[in-house]
Structure formats: structure tokens, C-alpha cells
Amino acid sequence: MSHGGRGLRHYAREGEPYDDVQSTSLVAMLRKHAMSRGDEPAFRVYDGSTWEQATWREFGDLAAASAIRAANEFPAGRPALVQLDNSIVSLAALVGLAAAGVDLAVFEAESSLLRDDRSALHELGADTVVGTADVPSRYRVLPAGELTRPSTERDTLAAIARLENRNAAVWQSTSGSTGEPRLARQTIANLLRGGEIYTGRYHVTEQDTVVAAVPMAHSFGLVGGLMCALVSGAALTTFTRFSPHGLRAAVESGATIVLGTPLVYELTTRLARPATSDLRMALSSGGPLDPAVAESARQRLGCPVYPLYGSTEMGIIASQFPRTKPWPAGHVGVAAPGVELRLADHDDAASELLVRTSTMFTGYWGGDTDALDDQGWYRTGDLATIAADGTVTLVSRKDTFINVGGRKVNPARVERLIGGHTAVAEVAVYGVDAVGGQEVWAAVVLSKPCSVEELSAYCGCQLMAYEVPHRVHVMDWLPRNGMGKIDRGRLPRLA
């Protein structure tokens, strides 16, 4: 790979607001909000039928209880696996554990990683899962509600200030664009820095209400939702069970910013226009945003929908944001504050995009560093162009994952699990375009008789619902190219 290509170092410019807030501690943020706005709503969660909410003081007490118990529940050096189901207690448990310096690995409620014996989660040395997940017997389950049970100590937020003595690691599963999903290591300081970037770029204040219609275990929700709320003091609304009608209710209740995937905005076009709305913007991540969907959502929600481009490893890389000059269609905006962008080969119209950023991850579990070159540039694998004014256009994505409504399904992992069935001799999993993203399809060659229904039931036991193939095609053989590799481009036509 050539590293002599052109580089664009991009900082805040006129019209690109950014407040360079100095990072502070989780405890300091919680105490500040609890003392100045303790009785004001901080978090609201919708479970599909009812709403639950907590004030800043209540949330601070929950997080403090989690931090105080952390010393007994998690000995030094022992990480915690945290199931983030978007509930108030799961978010408070996460914040409290991090404030106490406990290293964390986060996963969403519908993740199947714990079921997978080869998942990297099992290599971290954790013995406890915080949440309500159905987990292997090797783990102890500690419900988030128990971990955050109110403490008897007075002024609990002050009591935990002495516990915060290290920059806790946060392990997140990546999409695994090649091979199996990997665990990327971020730090709480980096995540808070990411929250500062969102706060500055989108002018988020304590007068805002951010609606995160995305999983908190993913970078977009964790940083753009939770960390941004903690930094800015904005109220945060989430969903343990997403509902388009719940989103509409949240908008009518005073939401000012929405975080969603392209599928979320596709769904909004089918809803009645909110009766009242204070929305000033919507942000989209998790896959390419069709300009037609963005326009339909804009008309329905009454506010612009801005795409952003980022990753678990880097955080936010580039985005659109409110400005006087209209954004060209099909672009992902300009580099975020503190981000350096470079094209690997300046001779090509489009070349691989390289990134360096202040929120750079610190490596993968197992010590893999192949994503970085010797100068610390992260190789995205995506082909892009960068205009003279810094506008970034993604020409193609390297990722081989399947985008199901903004959730990333790794075909290599699904193939491995399906291939564990005794009747399956060969299997190929691939994505097929559908409304709001893609569907998972599978082609199998059998070694003995087996029905499609049996295979689908087997998949349901191994995978989460969104990972299970929408269609399974039994074939006599799988098409291959001249190098003997499966020709995935021909599979949809043959199936």
C-alpha cells in the first residue's frame, strides 16, 4: 500500500461549530447534573407499551450504587460482560462500573455472541454477566437491577469519587469485515471525547432531548447517545423494544434530535406526521442513507436528516451537520474535529481512505494491529474521494457484512454455525437487497436428507432472529470461480 498519498488535516472551520470541551470524569459530570438539575428528567425508556423515566439525581444514585458494589463484585483486573438492553438500570450499571475503573465488554440484548463457543468474549477472563441474558453455565448472572440497588451510603456520588482511579477499557464487537467478528478496545476517556465531539458539532445542550432509536451497545448509540447526554446534560430517550409509534410519541413529547439507522427513517415515512414537533435534526448511521429516504423522512419529521460515517475503531469520522450552504447529495460530509483523512493513492480518482483521530481505538483482543500502518493510520478498506473543500464521498465499502436494518451480520460467522449441522456439507451466506437494507440468504449443499424447516429451526437455536437466514436454498453444488472460491455474485441468480 502506498502511504505517500495526499492528506487532509481537518479541524473546525467557520460554519463547523465545535466546542473543545476538556474531558472530565464520569463522576464529576453526574455530580454536576445531579446538583444543578437533580429533579429534571434525564432518561426515558419505552418498552413497547409503557414509559419509564429517571431524573438526574435518580440516575446518579443508580450509577453510584453500581460503582460502590463493583469493588466486591469485580476484583481488580476482572472485567465485566455487560448486556446493554437500553434500559435505565443497564445504562446506570455501565456508567457506575466504568466510574469504578472496571474494564467492560458490552453487547446488546439480541446478541448471540455468548452462545458462540468461539466468540472472543469468552477469552476476556470475565466470570460475570451483568444483565438478564440467557448465558452459558460458566458465567454468573448479576441482574443490572441488583447491581444498581440503592446504596445506604450518604452522598453516594461523593463516595465513589475516590474509586475512579483508572481509564477503564470498553471492549466492543466489530462488524468483522473480514473473517470472524473481533473485539476492539476503546477507553472511557475516548468515548467521552467522542461525546464532546457530538456535543460540539451538533450544538447539543441541556435544553435538548436526544432520542436514540439504536442499540446502546453500538458505537453510535453509546457515544452519540449516552456519552453525548452525559457531556451536554441533554435528556436521553431510548427503547428497549423499538416501535415506530414509540418514536412518534417521543417526537411529540419534545424530542429535538433523533439518532437512527436508515431503516428507522424508512419506517418513519409510513407514519402519520407528528402532531407537534420540536425536532431540529436527525442523524443517520449504520449504512448508506438513500437520498430519497432522507428526503421522505425530512418531510415526515419536519427536520433535515444528516448522514454520518464512523466505526467502532474510530468513532465518528465524517458527517454532515447544520450549515447555511446546502450539502451535495450522496456525500457523507466533512471530517469530524480532530480527525485526519488521507487517500492511500493520490493518483486514483478514488482510493482507500486512511484515518487518524483523537478517539482512536487501542487495538483488538489478541494483539492484532493489522488495521494500522506504521504511522498509525487506520486502513478503513473503503474507497473514497475527498474534494478540495474536504467533502468526503464514499465510492464503495469493503465490508462483507450484511446490513439488516442497521445491524451487521457477519456471513463468515453464520456460515460456521450453520456448517455445524450434521447434514450440511457446504454453505454460503450472502446478502440480498431489501427495503431498509438487506436480507440474509443461505445456500447449502447437503450430505444427507434434511428439510429447509429443520435447518431454519437449527439456525434459530444458534442465532438471533435478525441473523437467521430469511431464505435457505438447497443446491446440488455451489458456484466457484477459477480460483476455486465460492462465486457469491452468482448465488442470487442461481437461487
At 276-322, the pLDDT tens digits run 899 999 999 988 888 888 999 999 999 999 999 999 999 999 999 99
Q: Is the pLDDT of residue 15 over 50?
A: no
What gap in Å lies between CA 446 and CA 451, rounded to an integer? 10
CATH number for position 168 = 3.40.50.12780
* 427 and 381 within one domain: no
Evaluate whether residue 298 is within a structural domain.
yes
Higher pLDDT, 243 or 141: 141
Domain hosting residue 15, numbered range: 7-394
Task: State the pTM of this model.
Answer: 0.81
Evaluate whether residue 479 is within a structural domain.
yes
What gap in Å lies between CA 395 and CA 73, rounded to an integer? 48
* 407 and 388 within one domain: no
What integer is the mean pLDDT of 371-393?
87
The three cell numbers of residue 268 are 418513519
Q: Is 90 helix (H, G, I), strand (E, B) or coil?
A: helix
Let me know: does 362 contact 168? Beta carbons within 8 Å. Answer: no
**Helical H segments across 114-216, by residue range:** 144-147, 156-159, 188-201
* 419 and 280 within one domain: no
Percentage of the chain surpassing pLDDT 90?
Answer: 54
Higher pLDDT, 178 or 220: 220
* 139 and 288 within one domain: yes
**486 strand-pairing partners:** 480
The per-residue pLDDT for range 64-87, each reduced to its tens digit, is 999 989 878 998 788 999 999 999
Evaluate whether residue 145 is within a structural domain.
yes
Which of 59-68, 176-185, 192-201, 397-406 is most confident?
192-201
Q: Which residues fall within 8 angstroms of residue 378, CB to CB, at 6 or more apart?
A: 313, 314, 354, 355, 356, 357, 360, 371, 372
What integer is the mean pLDDT of 373-387?
87
Q: How many domains does the chain have?
A: 2
Evaluate whether residue 91 is within a structural domain.
yes
* 141 and 72 within one domain: yes
Q: Is the pLDDT of residue 47 over 50?
A: yes
Evaluate whether residue 1 is within a structural domain.
no
Instruction: Tell me the pLDDT of the chain averaged across its residues.
Output: 86
The per-residue pLDDT for range 93-128, each reduced to its tens digit, is 999 999 989 999 999 887 888 888 888 899 999 999
Let me know: does 318 contact 336? Beta carbons within 8 Å. Answer: yes
Which of 213-217, 260-264, 287-291 is most confident?
213-217
CA atoms within 13 A on the CB side of 222: 31
Evaluate whether residue 390 is within a structural domain.
yes
Q: Which of 374, 394, 414 is the last residue of a domain?
A: 394
* 465 and 385 within one domain: no
Evaluate whether residue 88 is within a structural domain.
yes
* 225 and 275 within one domain: yes
* 333 and 286 within one domain: yes
* 341 and 420 within one domain: no
Q: Which of 367, 394, 421 is the last residue of a domain?
A: 394
CA end-to-end distance (rounded Å), the chain: 37
* 416 and 377 within one domain: no
Calculate the CA 432 to chain-centre distance: 22
CATH number for position 421 = 3.30.300.30
Task: Count the Cβ atoms, other than its own, within 10 Å of residue 412.
Answer: 15
What integer is the mean pLDDT of 432-447?
89
Evaluate whether residue 2 is within a structural domain.
no
* 332 and 436 within one domain: no
Q: Is the pLDDT of residue 262 over 90?
A: no
Please report the pLDDT score of residue 289 as a whole number.
87
**Cα–Cα distance list, 188 to 102, 109, 230 (Å):** 10, 21, 12
* 307 and 247 within one domain: yes
Answer left, alpha or beta for residue 206, where phi above 0 means left and psi between -120 and 50 means alpha. Answer: alpha
The three cell numbers of residue 286 are 449504520
Q: Which of 375, 394, 413 is the last residue of a domain?
A: 394
